[in-house]
Structure 1
């Protein structure tokens, strides 16, 4: 009876254990979210990890289960890995990633070293996007109110003739809300107004407002006209780093953290580090036209992948979804440069371009001038193997000419091997558009150009034909150029007029030699028919020096076989640009002299400088005279008696590097920075200050407590100052930026064992006595 009783007891105990497990499992399952399945606990392991042969930092806690290996999801996410086929399980309320024996994952546990060995393909990692697009510019300098005046005057005297004087003036006002300007041309016959306009930019929205005299947007088939009125439109140049056309996107993958090198036409454009996994490289800056991108991915184990990708980038296209709109409303300008205020017919035009896909951009345009209307549409399509194809059509309705139509098409290819351009346009007799009547406009125009370059040389062939209207012409041209190493560059041109009553054939040869970065010499030989149809040969030789970007002299000396002789020079100074020339032709001598510059009232003072072409700025160096001021590492000005300099050519919405030469400051001057980077608005005025602090100087000798002099190379820094001063032989030192009275100085150096040593000392600076440098004697550093 004992055996059956013992067996019954064991059976009962087993049943109770199973029941307890079932109840516990039910309770645990009730606490788990229904989206994550529950797994049973197994053996817990503490493992080192090696991923694709590379040891990882730290140890991982893992759970061995019958279905595979469970790893806390936090560790998995830290390595940017995708979830495996096993999905996610929850163990005691914590999500775990389950590694099974199925799928692309390969894993094993090295029992001897307790290491989890993972082999993951590159696709198992989460992808990343490398964005290279430039951000919108942020103006860093507040704009000031500044009235200004630009001038460009010239006096010319000819032997036996009258003396002529001309001047071009521009009067304007720069301010925080845009700039206002008006240009005038002064001649012997009087003064003529050219343009008067107010302009305001919005770089964040890439738009520009202009009120007054403007030039209309032409679109793909219109004409650019001068008019007076209101203009509003998209202007991508307001963000210099913004690229409006589509750029190639590179895709790649790496199984390990790797280095990425990108070469465009064998020129390195990018070097970066990428983590393991797939990556997308967007907005890669490339040369427009056809080219090749070479991507080199090298991982930690030295394995290298090289991918070559051909591309074609066309600046005529817009990115998908990008829109460019321009609106012009006003009155056409007539007799520009001759009459000041003569305006004619009403002009209105609207042009919109929109990127539809990465290879297709569409445009529509409507214009009206007087009783003349025209409406048209066009587009650009990229064919990577050939180039950019374009087409447009338009219809018109005019009171006198009636109805008309126009068709045009084109091809543009820019590549390293060969390039070409083809433009064809045909219009009916009744087609008219703003700025051109149907009677004078050419009804058919054909222009073809093909070129090829190789091994430092290039050849080009072009043909142009124009029929109908007031002018008919047929021209053919062949040009050839070749680099000849240190002997410079040679070029040849053959031009033939194929029209009726054409002028014949013109042949030209040129040779140019660069003597250095500024000097060059050249010879030109040209043979062409004169007005009587006779062939004449002209030989010219010249030597010239280009002026530097900063201050300097430029000149040109020219002599020709026809007796023409010319010597001219240009001096770029701080406050103006002076020019002069002496020439002789046909036995007569001519002398010319000119001056150009700009005047402005900024920050309560008047300044004189070169012409104000871009933004202007006043540089303040704290009252120090004669300090050289640089712009992009070129010396462009010196400070005046008040310590201020005038800059007139800052680039709008771009980073400008403006600095000062610290060697021009006194020994006791302390400046926080000798160069700043500023981003001004276009045609704006700003103030740039270099705060300069002054302090007294003294010489001394510093010893440690044991009587040894501080070693050479030790640094002394007066407390409260950002400057440090080195110690020389015998503990001798020179200190600047000192205050009158008590000063405390910290010393730091490395001893013979490389350990950091520090000490401090203080002293009282005696009252100044003339210009003598006080000698403080020997001081003990504690």
Structure 2
């Protein structure tokens, strides 16, 4: 490839004497310079800008032995803005940049560049570390069954009777593999026969059946079976049975999806910049002279204030403050979020009338991050004669807040409708503010209202599959089912506003909200709420809330609560509330159940009002789950309940009883019993008689560190590794084998020469041509795979020697064999 043509270089000249005999000196100097910068030669030079070291090594090219150039990206990296609209890989001659001069110091291999501030490139620093390379996601083969067993009984003191009311079991089962997870949840109920021989009630209530797979490379999750449609702030989700694909940013825990705060400025001299977020120092960086920008400053969502402190070498400080606002509603530029689904709508979920309607529907939602301050979004849905679509935008309004706007339209049954939506969230100083408004005009419908019409207009029930899965067809004239809700259409108007702020004269905070709702049926509610809360000495806490409904219902009430710690993790609390049903007082003393096996929790509660209730409960957590028993008294009767919660997991050849597993888990294979296992440097348990331990509660798609405590390993054990870092797939299990072996036929050989001196360290040995080893200090060598009869050859600096020896393993004992090599 031909090098780009450049103009002759104007170098800093050596002062030319006005005498004739000086010209040979000039020639010699030029001859010394040319060999150091031949045409096309690549140079790695230390860069100084305005006599200040950049602490960077730049890559330059000598085009014709006289002129230096560099690629555009290289110039920007060292802090020079070439000011030319060229590709990042194009070579730019330094003397073609107007206002730039330089001197090439050949002996020191330095490049001294002089530029004005206008040619300084903005120094960009990232306050958060760049995302690490994701750990390979693992998933084994196995299954998990989460269960919750509940039983209840009641008695009447007047009749001296105590009867069993029934039992129910909630199951959440799943089978997982590297190819995905199949899950099924259900409720099984049973109740005793009623009076006069009436039959009891019971049965199986299916909840969700789903097969799911997630791809960490594309950040996409796929789901077949029961699903809930995705949506936006101005849409309503529905349940359906079918297929769903959606973006899942949760597959990369290190990925920051929202635009973070950034600050910028300019340093007149080399300085240090400190960034404070809400008076908390979060970042510090040494700066060179010139403009700078600090991006991706870690902040919590909401508003705040960034304070930038610039300090030079002499200790002079300049401070600037800037408000910022970070919202989950915004996407970082370039990110695309979506959810698309299609299938049959599901109605009456969680009841005996649960069914799928034979009318296919489809729904889709998407969001696109355009700029730090702008995210576009859209939504569309169709099915059952409905067409609905809308678009919106989320904008950051400077450093104070975020505004959202959207407009949706629908066509159903020959009529159309509109739904505008607007919201604004902001923080100005300590005051937070949120407001939103959603209205409908005309006959606006969405999938939620259309599928409700299927229920109300009548369904022809088809035979069920295994008496669990039923498929119903909408049919005119079929008997209508009672709706589970009064009005399924979007409200005609829903206005909400809330405001909150800490009190400057008090350590408490005050908040208020107002909701104005006009349902599609015409009913209207106008609810005003005000709350106050503050901490008290000794860890106590008090809160108060008052509300009033200014609509047709005309209801007013208040609530006051006080909570006081009484030692350990126990807390005593009391509350008073009043409303249209009267006044009630509740006293409660609670010690919550801890997460560690062996934890005990309890609760004693009493209330005065209508009705008056007293109850007591005790709970216990073991490595296999938790159990709770409750007894209560109200009026003339008593109730008693008991429940057990846990899980059964299987992986490989092992079956484990454990606590509930809602996320991922690992089965640790230590090879020997009673070996301590640590999760994130915290003891989690010991291996069983088979040398295995199930570790629940792992974080899916994130790094989880698991280690073993080697102190309880047998002396003769051989360990391949003592810790491992894994990233399990969602709701899957991973097998972690530490490769502990006890039958390794190993021994420590203490080798000495014929004169009784230890074989020198570093000598190489070999056992019958099968295994090589290195001799350590004092002639010691650890060797594995020994046979009853062995021969070795050891090579030292002085030559080779040989020896033969016998070996016999000793359980749980390190074998040490002294050997003379001749």
User: Same fold, TM exceeding 0.5?
Assistant: yes
Of residues 495, 508, 531, the one that matches 1:446 is 495
Of residues 575, 581, 587, the one that matches 2:624 is 575
Find the residue that maps to 2:236 and give its secondary structure: coil
Change (3 A) 1:413 1:776: same
Change (3 A) 1:656 1:58: closer
1:500 and 2:541 aligned: no
1:228 is matched with 241
After the TM superposition, which of the residue ranges 387-396 and 658-667 deviates more from structure 2? 658-667
1:541 is matched with 588
1:142 is matched with 138
1:629 and 2:642 aligned: no
2:195 is matched with none
Change (3 A) 1:404 1:123: closer
Of residues 598, 602, 607, the one that matches 1:556 is 602
Deviation at 1:466, TM superposition (A): 1.6
Q: Distance in 1 between matches of 2:54 and 2:519?
A: 78
Of residues 370, 380, 387, the one that matches 1:366 is 380
Equivalent residue runs for 1:631-646 within 5 Å: 631-646=679-694
1:342 and 2:355 aligned: yes
Q: Distance in 2 between matches of 1:764 and 1:52?
A: 74
2:475 is matched with none
Q: Distance in 1 between matches of 2:287 and 2:791?
A: 51
Of residues 460, 477, 481, the one that matches 2:533 is 481
Q: Distance in 2 between matches of 1:393 and 1:769?
A: 80
Q: Distance in 2 between matches of 1:406 and 1:48?
A: 63
Q: Distance in 1 between matches of 2:80 and 2:368?
A: 41
1:378 is matched with 392
Deviation at 1:625, TM superposition (A): 0.9
Of residues 399, 415, 420, the one that matches 2:413 is 399
1:465 and 2:467 aligned: no
Q: Distance in 2 between matches of 1:235 and 1:369?
A: 26
1:208 is matched with 221
Equivalent residue runs for 1:27-426 within 5 Å: 35-37=6-8, 127-131=122-126, 132=128, 135=131, 138-159=134-155, 160-188=162-190, 189-252=202-265, 261-271=274-284, 278-296=291-309, 306-339=319-352, 342-344=355-357, 345-384=359-398, 386-399=400-413, 402-414=415-427, 417-426=430-439
Deviation at 1:450, TM superposition (A): 0.6
The answer to whether the 8 Å contact 1:84/1:98 transfers is no
The answer to whether the 8 Å contact 1:571/1:577 transfers is yes
After the TM superposition, which of the residue ranges 420-429 and 39-48 deviates more from structure 2? 39-48
Change (3 A) 1:466 1:79: closer
The unaligned stretches of length 5 or more in structure 1 are: 1-30, 60-69, 88-94, 110-114, 702-717, 745-761
2:709 is matched with 661
Find the residue that maps to 1:237 and give its secondary structure: helix
Q: Distance in 2 between matches of 1:210 and 1:291?
A: 39
Change (3 A) 1:406 1:300: same
Deviation at 1:196, TM superposition (A): 0.6
2:576 is matched with 526
Find the residue that maps to 2:728 and give its secondary structure: coil
Task: Give CA-to-partner distance per residue, 1:348-384, whole Å, 9 cap, x none.
Answer: 2222322343323232322234233333222222212
The answer to whether the 8 Å contact 2:81/2:120 transfers is no
The answer to whether the 8 Å contact 1:134/1:242 transfers is no
Change (3 A) 1:682 1:581: same
Q: Distance in 2 between matches of 1:771 and 1:178?
A: 43
Deviation at 1:771, TM superposition (A): 7.3
The answer to whether the 8 Å contact 1:404/1:428 transfers is yes
Q: Distance in 1 between matches of 2:734 and 2:373?
A: 43
Change (3 A) 1:177 1:487: closer
The TM-score with structure 2 as length reference comes to 0.71
Q: Distance in 1 between matches of 2:148 and 2:112?
A: 77
Deviation at 1:418, TM superposition (A): 0.9
After the TM superposition, which of the residue ranges 474-483 and 684-693 deviates more from structure 2? 684-693
Task: Give CA-to-partner distance per residue, 1:213-252, whole Å, 9 cap, x none.
Answer: 1111232322111111111222222222223332234445
Change (3 A) 1:250 1:502: same
Q: Distance in 2 between matches of 1:287 and 1:205?
A: 27
Q: Distance in 2 between matches of 1:137 and 1:552?
A: 39
2:455 is matched with none
Quote the RMSD (CA, aligned, Å).
Answer: 5.3
Task: Give CA-to-partner distance per residue, 1:246-276, whole Å, 9 cap, x none.
Answer: 2234445567876654432233334456667
Of residues 619, 624, 640, the one that matches 2:668 is 619
Task: Give CA-to-partner distance per residue, 1:148-190, whole Å, 9 cap, x none.
Answer: 3222211222223433211111232211121111111111220
Q: Distance in 2 between matches of 1:738 and 1:257?
A: 60
Q: Distance in 1 between matches of 2:125 and 2:8?
A: 36
Change (3 A) 1:367 1:452: same
Q: Distance in 2 between matches of 1:217 and 1:249?
A: 31
Find the residue that maps to 2:526 and give its secondary structure: strand
Q: Distance in 2 between matches of 1:436 and 1:409?
A: 22
Q: Distance in 2 between matches of 1:55 and 1:429?
A: 70
After the TM superposition, which of the residue ranges 219-228 and 41-50 deviates more from structure 2? 41-50
Find the residue that maps to 1:435 and give its secondary structure: helix
Deviation at 1:303, TM superposition (A): 6.3
Q: Distance in 1 between matches of 2:241 and 2:46?
A: 77
Find the residue that maps to 1:223 and give its secondary structure: coil
Equivalent residue runs for 1:755-770 within 5 Å: none
The answer to whether the 8 Å contact 1:153/1:594 transfers is yes
The answer to whether the 8 Å contact 1:576/1:596 transfers is yes
Deviation at 1:37, TM superposition (A): 0.9
1:708 is matched with none
The answer to whether the 8 Å contact 1:473/1:498 transfers is yes
Q: Distance in 2 between matches of 1:266 and 1:495?
A: 36
2:753 is matched with none
The answer to whether the 8 Å contact 1:670/1:737 transfers is no
Change (3 A) 1:277 1:626: farther
Q: Distance in 2 between matches of 1:122 and 1:606?
A: 70
1:598 is matched with 647
